[in-house]
């Protein structure tokens, strides 16, 4: 699905970016793909999983920012920037935008299959789920890059990042 970020030799892998845990951020896209087949409460539960992932990553990045700057005068600002940037980026790139996108892809495919095929409804629902699941790998990179652009053009201008490594705050 997503390209795994590269970390430097000897660096500890990021639990939320470099391991299987990263895929928890895509739980809601899977839920949206299955929306036609499963109860809505299960779809919403997948959003809970993805939101827990986003929150855990933001907390982790805040903790790491706090450890990096233990006594500095900008410690609180560094922690706040790390938490807010990670949370907003992940909420948009892992939950809100891809969830909406997959929802609309599935809704459109179910509608179109109903108009152009004579397949029975259960077959159309399964086909819609397959369309949704197969779309996930194709939407991730464009959404990630779009959210990078959006945040670089807006929120990230609000905090001073010229002294920071831009890859530190930016989720992979």
DSSP the chain: -PPPPP--TTPPPPTTTSSGGGGGGGHHHHHHHTTTTS-HHHHHHHHHHHHHHHHHHHHHHHHHHHHHSSS-TTHHHHHHHHHHHHHHHHIIIIIIHHHHHHHHHHHHHHHHHHHH----HHHHHHHHHHHHHHHHHHHHHHHHHHHHHHHHHTHHHHS--TTS-HHHHS--
pLDDT band at 160 (very low <50, low <70, confident <90, very high): low
Q: How do the domains of the chain map onto residue ranges?
A: 20-169
Residue 171 pLDDT > 60:
no
Q: So what's the pLDDT on residue 10?
A: 61
pLDDT digits (tens, 9 = 90+) for 20-75: 888 899 999 999 999 999 999 999 999 999 999 999 999 999 999 888 877 777 88
**Which pTM value belongs to this model?**
0.82
Q: So what's the pLDDT on residue 9?
A: 56
Q: So what's the pLDDT on residue 118?
A: 96
């Amino acid at each position: 699905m997503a390209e795994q970020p590269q970390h430097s030799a000897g660096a500890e892998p990021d639990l939320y970016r470099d391991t299987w845990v990263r895929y928890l951020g895509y739980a809601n896209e899977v839920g949206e793909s299955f929306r036609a087949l499963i109860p809505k409460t299960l779809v919403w539960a997948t959003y809970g999983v993805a939101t827990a992932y986003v929150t855990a990553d933001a907390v982790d990045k805040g903790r790491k920012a706090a450890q990096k700057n233990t006594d500095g005068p900008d410690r609180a600002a560094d922690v706040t920037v790390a938490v807010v940037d990670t949370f907003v980026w992940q909420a948009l790139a892992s939950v809100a935008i891809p969830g909406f996108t997959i929802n609309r892809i599935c809704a459109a495919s179910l509608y179109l299959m109903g108009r152009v095929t004579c397949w029975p409804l259960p077959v159309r629902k399964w086909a819609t789920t397959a369309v949704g699941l197969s779309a996930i790998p194709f939407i991730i990179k464009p959404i990630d890059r779009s959210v990078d652009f959006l945040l670089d053009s807006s929120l990230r201008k609000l905090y001073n990042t010229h002294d920071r490594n831009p890859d530190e705050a930016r989720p992979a």
